[in-house]
Amino acid sequence: MSVTQETPPAEPKDTPTQLPPNDSPATSELEAEVHRLRRAIAKTEKESREADEARKKEQGRWQELAEENQRKAESAELKLAELDARQRVVEIAKALKFRDPQDAYLQLGGDIPDDEKSLRSRLDGVAKDKKYLLEDAQPPTPGLHKVVHDGKEINPGEEQDDTQPGLERLVAAYGENST
């Protein structure tokens, strides 16, 4: 019988280098380096998430500001359009000899046509319906009414019949044959 010696298997050349035993200082250094790198990766990921959140928050704030500015711009455009319409009404009302051109705007009730021809037509209609709004028209006199005196209509301010109290007035009111 022959004794054969076992030869250790040859190490493949492409195998990774074996790690030193766990208790060696090189292992401790590698573990410390791995731990430091993991902490650095975790810190970088956290900072990245916080930066993303901050960007999103900032972007949201800018979005809110943009929407608020949009609302303000739309409101200003509406006010400008109203002022432009009021100015057009006032100019045409002045040409039509309205006493108070600002009042002409109120008479239209906010329904202002876009074209000048329609606007002039509407203001002409207001002027015909409410002649007292025009400069050359006689304004209505408030509180003056027609009064009937002795069967005749008289206007206040006109000279009236000077009938005195007494029998003559009664005879004029009820007639001569009443008893």
139-178 pLDDT, tens digit per residue, is: 555 555 555 556 666 665 555 556 567 777 777 778 776 5
pTM of the predicted protein model: 0.44
Q: Are 154 and 160 in contact (CB under 8 A)?
A: yes
Q: What pLDDT sits at residue 70? A: 92
User: Does 29 map to a domain?
Assistant: yes
Q: Which of 142, 152, 144, 151 is nearest to 173 (CA)?
A: 151
User: Does 5 map to a domain?
Assistant: no
User: Does 119 map to a domain?
Assistant: yes
Q: Which of 35, 34, 36, 30 is nearest to 17 (CA)?
A: 30
User: Does 99 map to a domain?
Assistant: yes
In eight-state DSSP terms, residue 114 is S
Query: What domain count does the chain have?
Result: 1
Q: What pLDDT sits at residue 48? A: 93
Write phi, then psi, for 140 (nearest 5 degrees).
Answer: -65, 140
Q: What pLDDT sits at residue 143? A: 52
Q: What pLDDT sits at residue 119? A: 87
User: Does 35 map to a domain?
Assistant: yes
35-45 pLDDT, tens digit per residue, is: 999 999 999 99
State the residue range of the domain holding 43.
25-133
User: Does 167 map to a domain?
Assistant: no
Q: What pLDDT sits at residue 147? A: 57
User: Does 69 map to a domain?
Assistant: yes
User: Does 30 map to a domain?
Assistant: yes
Instruction: Compute mean pLDDT per 10 residues along the chain, 179 residues long, and list them.
Output: 56 53 74 92 94 90 90 91 87 88 83 86 88 73 57 59 69 71
Q: Are 123 and 91 in contact (CB under 8 A)?
A: no
